[in-house]
Structures are given as C-alpha cells and as structure tokens.
Amino acid sequence: MSFCAIICEYNPLHNGHAYHIKRTIEELKPGALVCLMSGNFVQRGEPAVRGKFARAVWAIKAGADVVLELPAVFACAPAENFAFGAVSILSRISAVKYLSFGSESGDIEKLLEYSRKLRDKDIRQRLKSGTSYASSFADEDFLSNNILAVEYIRAIEKLGSRITPFTLKRMGAGYNSLADGEEYCSASFLRKALDEGDFDAVKRHAPEYVWKELKQPSFDEALFAMACHAILTKGQKALESAAYVSEGLHNRIYKAAKESSSYAELVENIRSRRYPASKVRRILINILLGVDKKLQESAKGGPFYARVLALRKGREDVLAEIKKDLPLIARAEDYRRFSCPALEVDVLS
C-alpha cells in the first residue's frame, strides 16, 4: 500500500485546503492520505483557532484517512525546523511515497531549483544572520509564499528520503494574503475575519462542517498571564537558553514581561527589525512550553512517534502500516509506555 502525506495546520480548514486534498487524491490515487498536523499551537506562535481533535475531524471530513500530530517542538518552529521535523517523521513510515503541498508557483522544477540555491553559502549565511528569506533572495524575485515548499524539498534531500515531492498551484489568494478571494482565500484572511466577527466571510470560504464550529477567539488574556508567569519564574539568565533566543534578546523579553500590560504589548515591546512579531510569538510559545535550545536540537534526532488524532472509520489498516515503522500513540496509557522529551512537550501543550 502506498500513502500520500500532507503536512498541515488547518487553522482553520477552508475551501482551498479541501480543494488541495481532493486534487491530491485525484492526481496521485494513493492507498491512503495521511495528514501530519500541528497540535494546539501552530507555526505562527499562536494557539490554533480550534483544538487539535476538532481540526483533525475536519481533515477526515475533507478526505484524509488518518491525522497524526506534528510534535509541538517542530510545530512552533521556523520553516526549516518545521519542515525537517515533519519530513523526518513521514520518512520513517515506509508506506509514504509522496508529500503533497501547495505552492505559489505550482512548478516543482522551479522549487527544486530554489532548493539548490539555498545550499549557497552566502545565502545560508544571510539567513543565519537573521535576514529574511525574501530579502536573501531579493535579486532572485523569491516568493515568500514558497518558503515551506522549498524547505520540504530541502528536508527530503537532506534526509536522503525516498519520498517524492508533489505540488499543486495555490488557488485564489496567496498564502498569507488578507484579500477576500472570489473563490479561495487564505487561512490568514479567515482568522482576521474571525477576529473581526465577520462570520459571513467565514461562511463563504469554509465548508459548513468547519464554520459551524468556529467562534471569535479570545486567547490573548490567558496567553499574557501564562507567558509572563513562565518568563518571570524562569528568570532573566535562564531565558538565554530558550529556543531561538540569541544576542541578548533574553534581557529584552524579561524587561518586556515586567512592563507590558497585554499580550499584544508584550510582543510589540520585544519585536525588532531582527526579531519580527511572528518570530517573537514563536519564541514566547517555546518559553511557555519549556523548549530550550538543547531540546529543540536533540528532537531532530528522535525518537519519533505517531500520535493519532483522528482516523476514518474502517481504515485501521492504515494504522497497522504506520505501526510497522513508528511507535503508535492512540490512548492515554500509550504515553506511559513511551517516554521522550518531545512527547512531554506535546502532553504539556
């Protein structure tokens, strides 16, 4: 049996996601479609608009056969680590033959070319120094919407994986676009519509089984209290070892936690040209979850596991295939039989 995988967040799942799932099944005709999905916290460094189990059910209704959880230590990481962690897990499932993802270009050859260019020492150095992908590729007219697509390919190459990358051109609005597309919009647009209480827009762009479960989110107050508690109890010096913190940022974070009066203000008081708001939010979630540099790096080497969030009725055969290659975690007692630091972060999240 051959599987196709999709790495996703579905935050929330919209018509474009449903189209991608449908077209992937039509084009590749896999024996099963496996979604590897972020849990309760997503790559933007925020809580998802709905919990992971609800979003996993949306994926099943859209056509997936099984939904596995992407460990939080990878889910709340920059594009390179997000992709590397996800592809590392999928590569260990021998039945996974394809990885399907959307991209702005829809051109796999062009994405492969960008992947090769990312090996350039000058570009890698610029990225390590904090320069954004878009700025690093300014002369190449690099599209920021393709970052994850390129990183998936780089991870496949770096791991020597047998997985074949497959891309579909993203329809309608771009990846982070806030435009109200005629047929398809971005998840960013839907989250903005939710924040503003524009449920008519949500209904236009999401399946009924999704929009019926959505409501205006209000996480900031709770997040602010928890983040400040985590920052202040760890102490100024200990923050230096938090994942993705460098160059004295720990001092700025500690000072901001003592002086801010809301989560938005906390992020604003920390952000800078080198540390944009999206990066700051990821750092704050990693501090909250206790992910430090050592754990973030060691997680790349495993041990890896498959945490099941949802399964299509009658597709227990898919789990049997996955179980051949990875420890399967489906029930509470399974956690007690399998211990690793990354899994403890998932339990905490």
106 φ/ψ sector (left φ>0, alpha ψ -120 to 50, else beta)? left
Query: The dihedral of CA 215, 7, 346, 220: what is its sign?
Result: negative
Instruction: Give the dihedral sign, CA 69/222/275/102.
Output: positive
> Residue 125: its pLDDT value, please?
63
73, two tokens: 């230590």
Read off the pTM. Answer: 0.88
What pLDDT, on a 0 to 100 scale, did the predictor assign at position 21? 96
**SS3 at position 336:** helix
Q: Are 41 and 9 in contact (CB under 8 A)?
A: no
Is residue 12 within 8 A of residue 212, CB to CB? The reply is no
Among the listed residues 1, 37, 30, 90, the one whose alpha carbon sits nearest the alpha carbon of residue 317? 1
The number of residues making up the chain comes to: 349
What pLDDT, on the 0 to 100 scale, is given for residue 141? 46
pLDDT tens string, the chain, 349 residues long: the values are 899 999 999 999 999 999 999 999 999 999 999 999 999 999 999 999 999 999 999 999 999 999 999 999 999 999 999 999 999 999 999 999 999 998 877 888 888 887 877 766 555 665 565 555 555 554 444 545 688 888 999 999 999 999 999 999 876 554 455 444 557 788 888 888 888 888 888 888 899 999 888 887 778 888 999 999 999 999 999 999 999 998 889 999 999 999 999 999 999 999 998 889 999 999 999 999 999 999 999 999 988 999 999 999 999 999 999 999 999 998 777 877 777 889 999 989 9
